[in-house]
Chain A
């Protein structure tokens, strides 16, 4: 009896979405550890397993990771935000402008960028909750609007560079052993995790995701909760913009192009249902890691390097992984439905 229950507990942990994703992540890593090689800065061939390589992956996945964290509560409410990547670009440009053109100090300019992020997220929130427009259409609009603004401001030509070293420390150096921005990423992950899993806010997001009408009839402030998730996404996009600018040492209007799709992929890969209600921050973190390792690992496979097709291949494999994860998540349901219909078929026939 006891063994049976512990056995099933062990099984349900492994066969949970997070469990499977973790195994996929380990498999990816082991594969690249065996077959991947790379050249370090001293032109020495080293393997995929070096600590430097791991930190590099972490450093490169912080911005998409932040966007994925911001999208997790949104997708839990059965919403979507396509504008996060564009808002990242707009915030990066305005940060550069505030610092370079307006002559503000870095902290003040950064605060300005965060305010812009909040305003951008607030615009989404306003359109979605006040006018009750569908999030997909609203954020498709702001996706073009924010990117367009960024390009209009710079006329597509201006690039802000020559940021002070103190600012570049954020994106290019290490602090207490980890890439500096990783600390911010982990802090945001912890905050979003607490919000989603440990507060009544997270509970409301799920209720809204499962049944917006049901949540309304339960007296939950549906509009305010929805506004909150889009507002948070705006601020986190601005934070990602600062990290992006610091990592590359430049602010351009095309910053973060296409990031929203990687972020959504990571969230859905992490087991958050696009239909709302179901999902976890742990899943999102694993989803981000699975995509980051895949992308980075492919770049150091010799065969891929010879073909010079790492970008394309990683795009294809990420897509395949996502479709596989989606199939995997609905397959058990179809199987049980199929079984149920086959089992009940016999007694239903007339006697």
Chain B
């Protein structure tokens, strides 16, 4: 099965997605959200980590559909 022709921009985006994930989930960025703050009764850091995670999944799903 030959893969359909893919635009260069999409391929670059696919390659850069994990880089973005690393930047968001590693110090120093993650330390910004480690503050002892609550948001709607939940700790900010929990919301942040799981939020970024869900964002990565959504982005990967979008890219997988179009790549």
Please determine whether chains A and B interact with each other in the same assembly. Answer: no
Q: Which residues of B contact A (CB under 8 A)?
A: none
